[in-house]
Chains A and B, each alone.
Chain A
Amino acid sequence: GAVVSQHPSWVICKSGTSVKIECRSLDFQATTMFWYRQFPKQSLMLMATSNEGSKATYEQGVEKDKFLINHASLTLSTLTVTSAHPEDSSFYICSALLGGLYNEQFFGPGTRLTVL
């Protein structure tokens, strides 16, 4: 089956530092990946759509300069949380779109970010 990995699985950083999260499609190529944020006991909220070779499309209310997305290859998208603050602490989940008959999104295991 299609597998998506995320690295790191968890990270703790100091306020003001930047953190990069990687999302990889391990056994398929994905021109489109998505980044979600999930607060405790809440649903997934789409942050942005990452398109290989072009700029990401951000959802309303998501600061593009705060959450930098790079999709430089067909198997890798990165999310960089710049100048992180405690309110950025959350669970970040990516998904990769597998094209074909049904165009299914496959999800990564998520990355827990804690900003001190």
Chain B
Amino acid sequence: AQRVTQPEKLLSVFKGAPVELKCNYSYSGSPELFWYVQYSRQRLQLLLRHISRESIKGFTADLNKGETSFHLKKPFAQEEDSAMYYCALSGGSGGSNYKLTFGKGTLLTVNP
């Protein structure tokens, strides 16, 4: 069974501080990992995915297969980063493998 664990429900940091949102996964094959973000009163949107290896809005995430982790990091948090962040996993390409399993989410608050 596939599972995504986000150990922190809430995370509060000050503006300019580094931030790391943790994500661990369980999957028997080679998964694809994502980070989704949901700003207040907005829909869920993709922040980044491990295969694209991009940095979006200053955020990066590296897939560590040995530790089965995909932690989201940003060196200097901004107030506009305050949002709910979800880590998600899919089985990769092909039909129903595109379906996503979400973690429970971490609510990030960046204080001024």
User: In chain B, residues 25-40, which have Cβ atoms closer than 8 Å to a Cβ of chain A?
Assistant: none
A side interface size, CB within 8 A: 20
- Assuming the contacts A43-B104, A44-B44, A109-B43, asked whether A103 and B51 have C-beta atoms less than 8 A apart, the reply is no
Contact of A108 among B43, B51, B102, B105 (CB under 8 A): B43
Given the known A-B contacts A102-B49, A109-B43, are A49 and B105 also in contact in the complex, defined by CB atoms under 8 Å? no
| CB<8 Å pairs between A and B, sample of 23 | A32-B98, A34-B99, A34-B100, A42-B104, A43-B86, A43-B104, A43-B105, A44-B44, A46-B100, A49-B96, A57-B96, A93-B43, A95-B44, A97-B98, A102-B49, A103-B93, A103-B98, A105-B46, A105-B100, A107-B44, A107-B45, A108-B43, A109-B43
**Nearest CB of B to A48, in Å:** 9
B46-67, CB under 8 A of A: which get 1 and which 0? 1001011000000000000000
Give me 11 other A-B pairs in contact (C-beta within 8 A), A34-B100, A42-B104 excluded. Answer: A32-B95, A34-B99, A43-B104, A43-B105, A44-B102, A46-B101, A93-B44, A105-B98, A105-B100, A109-B42, A110-B43
A59 to B, closest residue via Cβ? B99
The minimal Cβ–Cβ distance linking B99 to chain A, given in whole angstroms, is 6
Pair B44/A102 contact, Cβ less than 8 Å: no
Output the least CB separation between A81 and chain B (Å).
20
Q: Provide the residues of chain B in CB contact with A103, threshold 8 Å.
A: 93, 98
A residues near B95, Cβ cutoff 8 Å: 32
List of B residues within 8 angstroms of A97 by Cβ: 98
A104 to B49 Cα, complex, angstroms? 10
